[in-house]
Amino acid sequence: MSALTHAKSGWAIGPGKPLAVIAGLNVLENKALALAVGAQLKAICAELGLPYVFKASFDKANRSSIHSYRGPGLEEGLQILKEVKAELGVPICSDLHTVEQAEPVAAVADIVQIPAFLCRQTDLVVATARATAKAGGIVQVKKAQFIAPWDTKNIVTKIGEASDVGVILCERGSSFGYNNLVVDMLGIPELQKLGCPVTIDATHAVQLPGADPRTGGASTGGRRDGVAIIAKSAVAAGADGVFLEFHTDPDAALCDAPSCLPVSEAKALLTKLKALHEVVQG
């Protein structure tokens, strides 16, 4: 496996590179919040010497309830991301859900993310790969909760046959019985055997799907205290980067509140993760 570099921004991930950081909001709520969180994370990563990408979703299509907040949508959401990108001077990561979204998302996002539940959808994978390659970006694929790490080889193969584009694989936990996820740290090196850098989505890995007691199961629960544990464990296991979601007031977040961290804790966590990564890198 070799390192992967985004040509336009210089952001890099992989062997010999610092711990890569993809972090921001779960979903866009408004531009002001995106700028506030993004600015803090950019400053922290600059101080620590860590390559940073701002992450936020414009739409959360996979919701437990039809009444759950989904985000501003494609048009407004991409405009906010475009403005955040310009004002903060940072690369952008966002996900998509349909074939039709591939080109407009790839035109704004430097890293285009395929959600875990959709990673086996051939039409979406191919469209994302081609649009992202055309725009000069990178594709990040979330490993589905229901497939083994080594079975992501079929997704990587699809992408490679569709276009010549860099691929990051993201571990985010596996379904374990009802309303629970676990992360097998042995999966990190298994994913890397496929020739791709690997990130850990420590935020979604602590979800309790469909088990939020606040809504009687109409939304996803989470174990916020576990985020740092999962992140540190994965970096110790050799992960090349981290995927983390923050908020200025996590309990008031409009989506996945039980799983996101207060941005005030970002520096302490990233400092520890950087130190762990340096030890593992030798």
Question: Hey, which residues are catalytic here?
Answer: 26, 60, 256
Output the DSSP codes for 137-199: -EEEEEPPTTS-GGGGHHHHHHHHHH---EEEEEE--EE-SSS-EE--TTHHHHHHTTT--EE
Contact between 222 and 202 under an 8 Å Cβ cutoff? The reply is: no
**Cα–Cα distance, 198 to 122 (Å, whole number):** 21
Paired with 57 in beta bridges are 27
**Cα–Cα distance, 142 to 281 (Å, whole number):** 24
**Cα–Cα distance, 88 to 41 (Å, whole number):** 11
CA 118 from centroid of its chain's CA atoms: 14
Cα-based torsion angle of the residue sequence 278, 279, 281, 282 in order, rounded to the nearest 10 degrees: 120
Paired with 112 in beta bridges are 94, 139
Residue 5's nearest CA partner among 238, 166, 191, 139 is 166
**How many C-beta neighbours within 10 Å does residue 164 have?**
8
**Cα–Cα distance, 86 to 226 (Å, whole number):** 33
**Cα–Cα distance, 207 to 161 (Å, whole number):** 33
